[in-house]
Structure 1
């Protein structure tokens, strides 16, 4: 490891954060809170902790602005990380090893590096004696990696969140392998649908009418045919990314009790991510029609049915975007606007009517989200701090 890295306080802060095993399932966030309180104290930021859901704390640091009555800036990050298959890692996932200028660890891209970049940018600005017009809040939330239902989704409903008076938020994005930096202004709508196919049960040697197998085949064919439409569209148009199309995946099939018994019911489960251009009502009506066509008694239900959330405007109607873009132009970095392919806490913020952008300030780096040996070049991490150091005053002083 480079001697410069060994003594770099930002790098050491990141490594300390990565060593905290805030990993699912059943995350204990106490160590994260202790660590974050210590960092906040060192920077000189007051801390509040809100436990809207028991054992699912939200920690908020606050850097008060010169005009605290103005809508504030929120820098959001999540404390939790996804599980690891430790035997498949070449580098221990919670050791934060640095090898040839690259730091390895679960959460280094998703998204502990971003959290530390926020913190370090604020620390540097404060050390320069800079005061911003708007108050800046840094939120550290739980449970994002399992959908956010007991994290940001609940927090935004509270008076605690309303009292933050958020006018604009930054959250995570995805590292980009090319020269560009990806900025995400919206997300596809997440639907998890289960289609239940009942039918006549009997001996597996017979050709009974009205079986659940015939019905589930019809349903799966319809969903997979529509999946192919999106796949063909994506493959035939290089300007599109996965976030621009509706994705459909068959994720589970359940039913049956024995090889030689035709079951009385089978269920197909689908993960659907609806493009922002999709008509949600029409899409659900299509599912209804397929169920009718599949046969008697076929029904569907949602295990998750997110509402449509409009993307954040990226034009002159949004002064925060104008300020964000001006900072990027000053830095000389090229940004491309995308629709996020998965789901982040940004969708809960946007659903309140607050503009939010997703940015992981990392380029020339392949995404390793949720992968074995998740990693980030240290120089990219340090450059990201400089980027936030420019963006934060730009959006906070409008």
Structure 2
């Protein structure tokens, strides 16, 4: 039996997992110190940028033989989501190994991937491998709260432009199957609130201009759209959640007392728009619903992302061809899908850089944000071998 507890790569992962970079109000100093030590061990320069105060971004750089060529970016985020410790079987920041399975917050999302990058480069350097293109490893903050003050801001700076990134890898999701899932695009995130004003008065009356009637109309329209997406998924087994528009009613606000009709009611929706949706048409539909719902109904956005074209996964993308060939050579299949949520990849794609999302974790259930987030040690180690094969392929294009 493998001695996972004493494997240097796994011990390295455990050390990273034990850093409590958990929301809210994260102090990233311990992460940065840890990553600087990793860079030093690898013999790589590391630079820390703090474009937004207390939101550091660390870049490790493995210079290529032809550094003028566009570089490869390996991105990962340092932050993890909160935990409900009483619901965990083991302390979430202890990184305990039980029956060869590592239990820890962030072990799938996505500290394992960050360490897989590091360990793959360690193996390649130990073999004396040199790559044509420069490889940058970026460790970024705040992805779990949208990433706008992390990579979202950094990609707009001269610091990022000087990295001369030609292709990027970022996180994906674990696959329960024998194949890996690669994500070449993401749905567009809209968080919209619909405000329904009306005549306030006593709760015993049937007053005109009623905001309850208005908000029911709005909710019905959005829930009808939700049902359409559910039917699409149920009718076509080839579709996944990333292929349809998801709609969820997430917040209802209004009212001060049960016998008083309030001045307004507000319904908020989380909408993830499929890549096939025309965004202007969709917003016009919301406008029309508001008009039909009654006088004074308006909407506003808490978040309104723009459309980001997906990365090509055909022969026009030489990085994709090299990536896919490398996986074929180690007998690992891939399926390409649209990511169901949001990752930092969208910020890179928005700058015109092709990017793929992949967590090289197969034959394991996805456990992002769940209690008892875990990962078999063998799956983590296989992921290192995946990057050991993929990095030379894409960096030597």
TM-score where L is the length of structure 1: 0.99
- Tell me the residue number matched to 1:380: 379
- Tell me the residue number matched to 1:310: 309
CA root-mean-square deviation? 0.7
- Which 10-residue stretch deviates more, 3-12 or 17-26? 3-12
- Tell me the residue number matched to 1:369: 368
Aligned residue runs from structure 1 range 99-114, under 5 A: 99-114=98-113
1:222 matched to 2:221? The reply is yes
- Tell me the residue number matched to 2:319: 320
Structure 2 unpaired stretches of 5+: none
Instruction: Output one character per residue of 1:192-239: Cα deviation in whole Å (capped at 9) or x when no partner.
Output: 000000000000000011111110000000000000000010011100
Kindly state the Cα deviation for residue 313 of structure 1 after the two structures are TM-superposed.
0.0
Instruction: Output one character per residue of 1:331-368: Cα deviation in whole Å (capped at 9) or x when no partner.
Output: 11110000000000000000000000000001110000
Instruction: Output one character per residue of 1:155-202: Cα deviation in whole Å (capped at 9) or x when no partner.
Output: 000000000000000000000111110000000000000000000000
Q: Is the 8 A contact 2:229 2:246 kept in 1?
A: yes
Kindly state the Cα deviation for residue 9 of structure 1 after the two structures are TM-superposed.
1.0
Aligned residue runs from structure 1 range 135-284, under 5 A: 135-284=134-283
Kindly state the Cα deviation for residue 285 of structure 1 after the two structures are TM-superposed.
0.4
Cα distance in 2 between the residues matched to 1:67 and 1:61 = 17
Cα distance in 2 between the residues matched to 1:212 and 1:126 = 66
1:287 matched to 2:286? The reply is yes
Cα distance in 1 between the residues matched to 2:159 and 2:109 = 26
- Tell me the residue number matched to 1:392: 391
Cα distance in 2 between the residues matched to 1:37 and 1:376 = 25
Kindly state the Cα deviation for residue 63 of structure 1 after the two structures are TM-superposed.
0.2
Give secondary structure in 2 for the equivalent of 1:243.
helix
- Tell me the residue number matched to 2:87: 88
Cα distance in 2 between the residues matched to 1:39 and 1:9 = 13
Give secondary structure in 1 for the equivalent of 2:153.
helix
Q: Is the 8 A contact 2:5 2:97 kept in 1?
A: no
Kindly state the Cα deviation for residue 91 of structure 1 after the two structures are TM-superposed.
1.2
Give secondary structure in 1 for the equivalent of 2:256.
coil
- Tell me the residue number matched to 1:20: 19
Cα distance in 1 between the residues matched to 2:205 and 2:181 = 56
Kindly state the Cα deviation for residue 3 of structure 1 after the two structures are TM-superposed.
6.7
Kindly state the Cα deviation for residue 6 of structure 1 after the two structures are TM-superposed.
2.3
Q: Is the 8 A contact 2:290 2:299 kept in 1?
A: yes
Kindly state the Cα deviation for residue 10 of structure 1 after the two structures are TM-superposed.
0.6
Q: Is the 8 A contact 2:183 2:339 kept in 1?
A: yes
Cα distance in 2 between the residues matched to 1:333 and 1:278 = 32
CA change 1:275–1:386 in 2 (3 A) is same
Cα distance in 2 between the residues matched to 1:13 and 1:189 = 36
> Which aligned segments of 4 or more residues in structure 1 are displaced greater than 2 angstroms?
none
Give secondary structure in 2 for the equivalent of 1:315.
coil
Cα distance in 2 between the residues matched to 1:35 and 1:203 = 62
Cα distance in 1 between the residues matched to 2:371 and 2:44 = 35
TM-score where L is the length of structure 2: 0.99
Cα distance in 1 between the residues matched to 2:6 and 2:294 = 68
Cα distance in 1 between the residues matched to 2:4 and 2:232 = 45
Cα distance in 1 between the residues matched to 2:254 and 2:6 = 58
- Tell me the residue number matched to 1:59: 58
Cα distance in 1 between the residues matched to 2:244 and 2:96 = 38
Cα distance in 2 between the residues matched to 1:35 and 1:106 = 17
Count residues with an aligned counterpart: 397
Cα distance in 1 between the residues matched to 2:322 and 2:363 = 24
Kindly state the Cα deviation for residue 7 of structure 1 after the two structures are TM-superposed.
2.0
